[in-house]
Chains A and B, each alone.
Chain A
Amino acid sequence: MAQAQVPVTVLTGYLGAGKTTLLNRILSEQHGKKYAVIVNEFGELGVDNDLVVNADEEVFEMNNGCICCTVRGDLIRIIEGLMKRKEKFDGILVETTGLADPGPVAQTFFTDDDVKARTRLDAIVTVVDAKHFLGQLEQGDEAEEQVAFADVILLNKTDLVSAEDLAKVEARIKTINPYARLHRTQKSQVELAAILDKGAFDLKRILEFEPDFLEHGHDHDHGDEVASLSFSSDRPVDPDKFQKWMGALLQLRGGDILRSKGVLAIDGAPRRYVYQGVHMMMDADWGTPWKEGEKRSSKLVFIGRNLDAENLKRGFEDCLK
């Protein structure tokens, strides 16, 4: 009954960024592992493999009245079906179409109990086309959101741009999401260890992904662009106040807040309190204990649109003792 949860990697990226190349490599390379791949454009992969499953990216809205609570029902069904197979998988990769919002895929893993029992969301990997990314940002929200959601970014096709342009693209990525691990690649060549089994959604491992909090949120107006903000404090957090504030915040602004995570020093608690969320869905748990004499500090991160830095800062500070 207590089967190990199969890690699921969500692979996003704009059309032509190099997702298919990456998937083909994962399916054809000799790595001794068995990965099931859920794709949207069947037949695009050059590999004839019965581990490739076609999905139609069927999104539905939950009945809870929140328009940001959208879920991939087809994914629930497919994962359930894959678990009926005799063969067991080392991992599942879910490819989204180039224009897809990664939100519903991620939220599926917060929502469905059967999916949660059998699998765990490992990381969102976004492939970025170094040559066309800046242009894609102009064409709609998708390219920006895919970067915003990412835990790992493959900045691909670096051979097609000058060093100067590459630096520009990288700098732009960092303004959207400075917390993702970024790998520069050509032809999607990357060690599989860099993208698989990262535990980015694992509350126990959230500290490994602990971003460099030295970069503080920028206060200037970003308009509609996705940006990130982080806050920290050495004062202990009042758990009741925090719960109330975060609950109300996500309820109200969950559509704009794409991802959030944090490590909190709760007043009087021997362990860290860690949480992370996608839109208004959130997971939280007690993390590792504070060491003797360790400086206890709390840190939180938001990635989203229309983030009001002053307001968030005040809200957080109101939760401090």
Chain B
Amino acid sequence: MLPPSRSVASDAPVSACAFSRDGKTVAFALGDGRVRLLPAEVKDAETAPQDPVHEGAVLSLIGDPLNDGFISGGDDGRLLRIATDGSASEIAVQRGKWIDKLAAHRANGTVAASIGKMALVIDKAGGVREFGPHQSTVTGIDFSKDGSRIACSHYDGITIWSIGQVVLPPRRFGWRGSHVALKWSTDGKFIATGTQENDIHVWRIAQASDMRMAGYPAKVKSLSWSADARWLYTSSQPVFTAWPFSGKGPEGKPPLQFGDEGAGLFTVVAAHPTAEYVAGGYDSGELQLGDIKTRRSVVLKMSDGSSVSALAWSPDGFRLATGNDNGDMLVIDLRR
């Protein structure tokens, strides 16, 4: 039996979803400029859709690290702070640019955004600083564990910037080709990217050494580190695929693949925020929950033909939000 859930439809594709810091609100970024806010509790009454806050499509969305609202970026070049009542205030704007990648550091209250070749960092007090330009558009952005640095992916590698008061020169780590996604490991030791050429690349920061894992049938656009940093989950496989990062690391080892083969390939994977679970959505619309301890998986939603485009865990790890290209929004309550 499927767990209790809330399903809401829209006529615009979902590009991202996120839970608020307090876990009480879930938000979906939509292709019509709306950020759809819903109560995370699936039994609570559905709220009415809010007016569009962006002029084109909303491309990125995260929970606001400072309060219980959200931060959104759009193809109108605007970065917005969205309150729980749906009202929006502008943090930054650059017409003609897209804001399609966002990251937050909860403890420090900082937000990082990609805007063309630049990275923006917004501090707790609302101060905006720019880092760059990078050699090409920033395609992935993430904070280090302690929040003192950001990493940006672009053509031919990644760049790490210190964002503290002391200005240090950026560090560049090279690997030829186009890097299309970036995630800093939860222990701060590794940075992983997905590349245009169907492989992933991981840098060991302290040693400045790197490794490449190939053999994917498609670009790996979704990467997710387990909470304990022992595993790196990757999309673009028909089963959950985790590279081992405990001990000596993954060099020379195959990835751990587990669970039942789903319909199609994973488009999005999201590690559980605290426990050893992972959720994954497929290009067929199927949704699975995997358990790396038992190496098993369960189907949370059958395939429906619309590619899963967004996936997020609530901070307590009891709820899962997901959206697809069709505009369907789903919140699943996994409490027993």
Contacts and interface: CB of A to CB of B under 8 A. Distances in A.
Interface centre among A58, A78, A84, A113 (most CB of B within 10 A): A84
B146 interface: no
Contacts of B96: 42-43, 54
A84 B13 contact: yes
Interface stretch (B54-62, B225-233, B246-254): B54-62
B117 A56 contact: yes
B66 interface: no
Contacts of B76: 50
B122 interface: no
Main secondary structure of the interface of B (DSSP, over half): loop
Interface string B145-156: 000000000011
B196 A112 contact: yes
Given A42-B96, A54-B96, A113-B218, A81 B196 contact: no
Interface in A60-84: 60-64, 71, 73-74, 76-78, 81, 83-84
Nearest to A111: B196
Interface string B224-264: 00000000000000000000000000000000000000000
Interface in B1-40: 11-13, 15, 30-32
Interface in B181-231: 195-197, 218-219
Contacts, number: 84
Contact of A71 (B55, B117, B196, B284): B196
B75 A60 contact: no
A1 interface: yes
Given A71-B196, A113-B219, A81 B75 contact: yes
Given A81-B75, A114-B219, A86 B137 contact: no
A56 B155 CA distance: 13
A42 B176 CA distance: 29
Contact of A60 (B12, B98, B178, B309): B178
Given A81-B59, A84-B57, A86-B13, A74 B98 contact: no
A42 B95 CA distance: 10
Contact of B56 (A54, A62, A63, A85): A85
A199 B42 CA distance: 49
Contacts of A54: 96-97
B100 interface: yes
B56 A50 contact: yes
Given A60-B155, A114-B219, A1 B305 contact: yes
Nearest to B139: A77
Contacts of B156: 60
Contacts of B55: 50
A50 B75 CA distance: 9
Interface residues of B, number: 38
B84 interface: no
B13 A74 contact: no
Contact of A73 (B11, B97, B178): B178
Contact of B98 (A50, A81, A113): A81
A74 B176 contact: no
Given A84-B13, A85-B12, A73 B31 contact: no
A223 B137 CA distance: 39
A71 B196 CA distance: 10
Contacts of B309: 84
Interface string B128-164: 0000000011010000000000000001100000000
Interface in B62-77: 75-76
Given A58-B136, A84-B31, A86-B32, A76 B218 contact: no
A73 B57 contact: no
Nearest to A113: B218
A65 to B, nearest CB: 10
Contacts of A62: 177, 196-197
A76 B196 contact: yes
A210 B137 CA distance: 40
Contacts of B11: 86
Contact of A58 (B32, B100, B137, B197): B137
Contacts of B197: 62-64
B76 to A, nearest CB: 8
Contacts of B219: 112-114
Contacts of B297: none
Contacts of B196: 60, 62, 71, 73, 76, 111-112
Contacts of B31: 84-86
A274 B321 CA distance: 46
Contact of B176 (A53, A63, A81, A84): A63
A321 B176 CA distance: 44
Interface centre among B12, B156, B178 (most CB of A within 10 A): B178
Contacts of B307: 1
Interface in A114-146: 114
Interface of A: 1, 42-43, 50, 53-54, 56, 58, 60-64, 71, 73-74, 76-78, 81, 83-86, 111-114
5 contacts: A1-B307, A58-B137, A73-B139, A84-B57, A85-B56
Given A71-B178, A113-B219, 6 more contacts: A63-B176, A74-B137, A77-B100, A81-B59, A84-B57, A86-B57
* Closest A-B pairs by Cβ, 9 of them: A86-B12, A86-B32, A73-B178, A1-B305, A54-B96, A86-B31, A58-B136, A85-B57, A84-B57
